[in-house]
Amino acid sequence: MILLTGAKGVLGSAFCDLYGKQLHPIKGRKELNLTSQTDVENYFNKNSFSGIIHLAAVSGGMGFSGPKYQASLLRDNILMLINILDNARKFKIKKILLVLSSGMYPPNTKMPYLENDVHNGPAHESSYGYFYAKRMFEPAIKSYRQQYGMDIIGCVPNGIFGPNDNFSDFAPMLPSIIKRADHAFKYKKNLEVWGDGKPLREYTYSYDMAKAMMWCYENYTSENIINVGSNEELSIKEIVEIISKNIGLDSSQITYNRSKPSGVMRKSMDNSKFIELSGFEFTRTEDGIKKTIEWFKKQKTFREEAKL
């Protein structure tokens, strides 16, 4: 069985739907506190795994950034990483896939980002605790492989969205807009979007990302991290318009609050290495958004709790 952390999240849910019989899913901290060395060791001692896919992370959108949360983001993500790797070493687990973040790439580096650009400058300050924690995955992979001979790989996804996404008040941009657009449509209010809508983003449908990462788990063995995801680039404004169209919200109800941060202007990754190796074809972002909204509309709880 493959231990899957973060199984309750958008990507973990897709993994479970596609590969459930191969997985031992951990859905949250109540089941296993991955930041606790003792808890993780005890869990590994009681259960047997052939491999690990480590998706669990403490992250969030623009509302979960700034000085208030950066220590938590840095600490918790690094603690989980070390606890996973140390126990994988101790219990001789054969294969480990770690998930990094496209946000860790230095924003002043030439785009699209190549895998070897990861340490070529400072990370973006919007969520530096999280981004630097994810950067630490890269030297951790190499050092644990070199010292202990472990088969550890690192995948760098771009933005992920899909069914079972995070629609909380600290949700990332795309699911947050789906939730608030639905609220605006339902109550005939305006949808406020932070920034000017100009920044460009690459998003990958969660089921595609799960399939792509499982391919990596089964076929990729290098110590070098690999970019994984769709290279279709859309502006935040274009994404908002696609969401609004599928929700039924009129464009006149959309306002852009330019007093709020827009975020990184562009986060484009070069995933040519993965495409060349795998031949993978990704779902169009618009089609993935349509599928996600169809799922969202069936979720009564999310819709009733929506807030502006």
pTM: 0.92
What distance in Å separates the CA atoms of residue 102 and residue 195, rounded to the nearest whole number? 20
Note whether 2-161+202-228 and 173-200+232-265+284-300 share their fold. no
Q: State pLDDT tens for residues 74-115.
A: 999 999 999 999 999 999 998 999 999 998 999 888 999 999
What pLDDT was estimated at residue 60? 56
What pLDDT was estimated at residue 293? 97
Beta strand pairing call for 51-54 and 200-205:
unpaired
> Sheet containing 151-157: which strands, arranged edge to edge?
23-25, 2-5, 51-54, 95-99, 151-157, 226-228
> Sheet containing 200-205: which strands, arranged edge to edge?
159-161, 200-205, 233-235
What distance in Å separates the CA atoms of residue 101 and residue 104, rounded to the nearest whole number? 6
What pLDDT was estimated at residue 90? 98
Q: Mean of the pLDDT values across residues 161-173?
A: 84
Domain range summary for the chain, segments of one domain joined by +: 2-161+202-228, 173-200+232-265+284-300
Q: What is the phi/psi pair of residue 98, to 5°? A: -110, 145
Class of domain 2-161+202-228: alpha beta
Hey, what CATH topology would domain 173-200+232-265+284-300 get?
UDP-galactose 4-epimerase; domain 1 (3.90.25)
Q: Is the backbone peptide bond immediately before 107 cis, with ω within 30 degrees of 0?
A: no
Q: State pLDDT tens for residues 46-66.
A: 999 999 999 999 875 555 555
As a whole number of Å, the end-to-end CA separation of the chain is: 42
Q: State pLDDT tens for residues 196-226.
A: 999 999 999 999 999 999 999 999 999 999 9
DSSP secondary structure code for residue 21 in this structure: G
Question: Tokens representing 222?
Answer: 């290098």
What pLDDT was estimated at residue 61? 52
Least confident of 6-20, 59-73, 152-166, 269-283: 59-73
- Indicate whether 303 pLDDT > 50: no
What pLDDT was estimated at residue 265? 84
